[in-house]
Chains A and B, each alone.
Chain A
Amino acid sequence: MPNKEQFVRFDKVDKSYDGKVLVVKDLNLDIAEGEFITMLGPSGSGKTTCLMMLAGFETPTNGEIYLDSNPISNIPPHKRGIGMVFQNYALFPHMTVYENLAFPLKVRKISKEEIDKKVDKVLSMVSLSGFEKRMPNQLSGGQQQRVAVARALVFDPQVVLMDEPLGALDKNLRESMQYEIKHIHESIGVTVVYVTHDQGEALTMSNRIAVFNDGKVQQLSSPDKLYEEPVNSFVAEFIGENNTFSGEVTDISKNKCKVKLDLGKEIIANPIKVKSKGEKTIVSLRPERAIIDPENQMDNKHKGKIEEVIYHGDHTRVRLDILGNKEFILKVPNSSARMDIKVGNEINVGWNSHDSRALDPK
């Protein structure tokens, strides 16, 4: 099959609602067949607009979207064969679960026996067998969610879109639904485009994540790469926790650079977005990559004063005043060895220059 890597393709897509502001700017995105891709970003970043353009409820102002190499901008939504799970489930309140699931099959003029078979199959997939006769308002939020997922899958669409489907559920249910959706995806291998603003959800479920901000894809990569190697300071701050130092590059070599901080001290960092001396930069460091009482081979060693200690059970979060940054967070695993972590004490902290990434200054 050709174009498996480019099963869905956004080609130079722009979108504007009012002719003044671009909500989506020059979007180029390839989605492979069978992939679980998540569009992640704060509200207003254009991720839902992208989804709506793919579903056919919005038209791109410029550019083209291809599905399996065919341009789809002029195809109405009901002919696209794309399943969609909506934020508020959008189950038809006047139909039973069975009728909801049979709706996409009936409009495709599939025979009654075939419909029964498919509905049975999809209901057992979301473990809701026996709920056919219930009305949507007789189901719990999680059950409604599962019916909505089942309905989007029952007619074997090429692509399934999910628009913040777990937003209305409570935390525990949300987590178990994340696994359930992930497992369904793995077992039937459908292409899923998932939209969320919850980074935890995105990291758990996706093959790849597209981080949106300001109408643009900031970074498109696998969850681990996104977390470990953010390419700019927006991604670094949006995904996970992040300690930052702002300063100016004073020396640069192939994979190391010296950054002079605003207070005058120097740290060694990994140059990602900086190219030459004199550039402004923000250095980003994940809290778990800095350790107390560092070994010798670490090339960044500094003294910090403990400002606050927060107990989290399995670990303790320590807020330090270090190198002029009073919001420096450190994660200390819970063990009986560290009794000196008390507010006011001074401790040595160190990290590898490879982990402190010098990014753009925003």
Chain B
Amino acid sequence: MSSESQKILTTDGIPLEESLKKTERKNKIKAFLLVCPLLFFLIISYVSPIVGMLFTSVDDRMVTNMLPKTFKAMEDWDGKDLPSEKVFEAFYLDYKILVDENRHGKLATQMNYEKNGFKSILKKLARKQKKFEEGNYKEQIMKVHKRWGQVDYWRAIKRRAPSYSYIKYLKGVDMYENEEGKIVEVPEDRRIYKILWLRTLEIALVVTIFCFLLAYPIAHLLATLPMKYSNLLMICVLLPFWTSLLVRTASWMILLQQQGLVNDFLVWIGIVADDHRPVMMYNKIGTYIAMTQILLPFMVLPLYSVMKTISPSLMRAGKSLGGTPFITFWKIYFPLTIPGIGAGCLLVFILAIGYYITPELVGGASGTLISNQIAYHMKHTLDWSFASAMGLMLLTGVLVVYWVYNKLVGIDNIKLG
């Protein structure tokens, strides 16, 4: 009763809500059509590659499709003792097809990832299977090489049965699933990715801190200087944006290498001896310096845009109320710039964590990041699923940073301009 009486009607007797919806529908359609091209573009260029990457990283159907009969026969094998004749027969049949179609090399590569020593026994089997007689395949296969009689190798085959697997992710953090199906770390001398992840994190953090320390005073100057000077300074800050990334990185190489300008200068003023020139390139130091310079504008701009909005009268008020310049800065100015600091740090950190070209060129062995490893697997080992897995781990890392930031500072507090 009461809800009915509250329903407001327009002058023509149509319910107000309905009428409002009708009039706004046209605007909504217009707005959607305007957004459409961008939405389409985003789906094609952004969403679909990420979904594809996710798929590639867990896709393990290659082996599954090569040995369909074997995996079917293995379904009721408990994995304790050697499999039954049925499994051996199925494996022989599968493998025969592969050899006939000349695809058995790929299987050998894949299985060798799983367990060392697979390549040679598979190759031997490929040669010998031509003379196999019908029936009693178990005995015939085991005769080819004694390893075929070891249960470990059959277990390794079974581990590759599922179409989807997370082993690439395990590999990305230096872990693997051992024979007993337990997840363990690889031996210490073969761990590489954990070090790389930590180094990526460390370099991104240090670069962010350097950028912040350098950008804060610059942004403050920019925001407080009179127009004619601040414009000039702004151009200096933006100049790197107008130069190619490669050119900038290359110029750092010219400056920082051992026979470079900086070292020449240091030798000339006598700080370092000619035969003890410090190595500033092809290591972490080079990466720090070059990345800080390249990412600096991304810190300056959000800081500047926030500082520009802080009225100078606030600082004056702070001083007139008795605050020393330091207290006034720390209690009034600094807290008001936190949205800019947050935005700048988040931006620089996220950019730094996935940086590729600069570390590739100036990083050397100790200054490369995880993205360089991803590129390596895409271009050289062609292990795309591993590259995808690491790419997704990186993306997840970025999202975690974003989430933590949102919890701590609040994403609404970000000001980019």
Contacts and interface: CB of A to CB of B under 8 A. Distances in A.
A93 interface: yes
B335 interface: yes
B336 A94 contact: yes
B322 A155 contact: yes
Interface in B313-364: 313-314, 316-325, 327-328, 331-332, 335-336
B320 A83 contact: yes
B60 to A, nearest CB: 53
A159 to B, nearest CB: 11
A57 B316 contact: yes
A87 B313 contact: yes
Given A93-B336, A94-B335, A94-B336, A107 B323 contact: yes
A204 B25 CA distance: 57
Interface in A63-90: 76-84, 86-88, 90
B332 A88 contact: no
A166 B182 CA distance: 75
B5 interface: no
B23 interface: no
A57 B314 CA distance: 13
A104 interface: yes
Nearest to A92: B332
Contacts of B328: 78
Contacts of A152: 320-321
Contact of B322 (A57, A81, A92, A161): A81
Contact of A78 (B311, B314, B319): B319
A79 B322 CA distance: 6
Interface of B is mostly: helix
Contact of B311 (A77, A84, A88, A151): A88
A108 interface: yes
B336 A78 contact: no
B322 A78 contact: yes
A29 B80 CA distance: 105
A80 B316 CA distance: 13
Contacts of B318: 92, 103
Contact of B320 (A77, A91, A92): A77
Nearest to A81: B322
Contacts of B316: 55, 57, 77, 84, 86, 90
Nearest to B310: A93
Identify which of A82, A88, A90 gathers the most chain B CB atoms within 10 Å of its CB: A90
A107 B318 CA distance: 10
Contacts of A83: 320-321
B89 to A, nearest CB: 77
Contacts of A151: 317, 321
A78 B332 contact: no
B320 A55 contact: yes
Given A83-B320, A92-B332, A78 B325 contact: yes
B335 A155 contact: no
A103 B313 contact: no
A38 to B, nearest CB: 19
B331 A103 contact: yes
B288 to A, nearest CB: 33
Nearest to B328: A78
A77 B322 CA distance: 7
Most chain A beta-carbon neighbours within 10 Å: one of B311, B313, B316, B321: B321
Contact of A107 (B313, B314, B321, B336): B321
B322 A86 contact: no
Which one of A88, A91, A103, A151 has the highest number of Cβ atoms from chain B below 10 Å of its Cβ?
Answer: A103
B313 A86 contact: yes
B322 A104 contact: yes
Given A92-B332, A94-B336, A103-B331, A86 B317 contact: yes
A343 B332 CA distance: 62
Contacts of B313: 86-88, 90
Contacts of A104: 321-323
B314 A108 contact: no
A108 B322 CA distance: 7
Nearest to B327: A107
A104 B317 CA distance: 10
A343 to B, nearest CB: 47
Contacts of A56: 319-320
Contacts of B322: 78-79, 81, 104, 107-108, 155
B314 A92 contact: yes
B337 to A, nearest CB: 10
Interface string B389-400: 000000000000
B321 A103 contact: yes
B371 to A, nearest CB: 38
A322 B316 CA distance: 53
Given A78-B325, A107-B324, A90 B317 contact: yes
Contacts of B332: 92
Contacts of A86: 313, 316-317
B342 to A, nearest CB: 14
Interface in A51-67: 55-57
Interface string A103-124: 1100110000000000000000
A155 B321 contact: yes
Interface in B274-330: 311, 313-314, 316-325, 327-328
Contacts of B320: 55-56, 77-78, 80, 82-84, 152, 161
A114 to B, nearest CB: 15
Among B313, B319, B322, the most chain A Cβ lie within 10 Å of the Cβ of: B322
A55 B318 CA distance: 12
Nearest to A160: B320
A256 to B, nearest CB: 51
B323 A90 contact: no
B414 to A, nearest CB: 16
A79 B325 CA distance: 11
B80 to A, nearest CB: 68
A148 to B, nearest CB: 8
Nearest to B331: A103
Interface in A292-316: none
B311 A90 contact: yes
A76 B319 contact: yes
Interface string B52-95: 00000000000000000000000000000000000000000000
Nearest to B332: A92
A246 to B, nearest CB: 43
Contacts of A77: 316, 319-320
A94 B339 CA distance: 12
Interface string B13-47: 00000000000000000000000000000000000
A104 B325 CA distance: 13
Interface of A: 55-57, 76-84, 86-88, 90-94, 103-104, 107-108, 151-152, 155, 161
Q: Which 7 A-B pairs have the closest CB atoms?
A: A104-B321, A90-B317, A84-B320, A90-B313, A77-B319, A78-B319, A86-B313
7 contacts: A56-B319, A57-B319, A77-B319, A78-B324, A78-B328, A79-B322, A152-B321
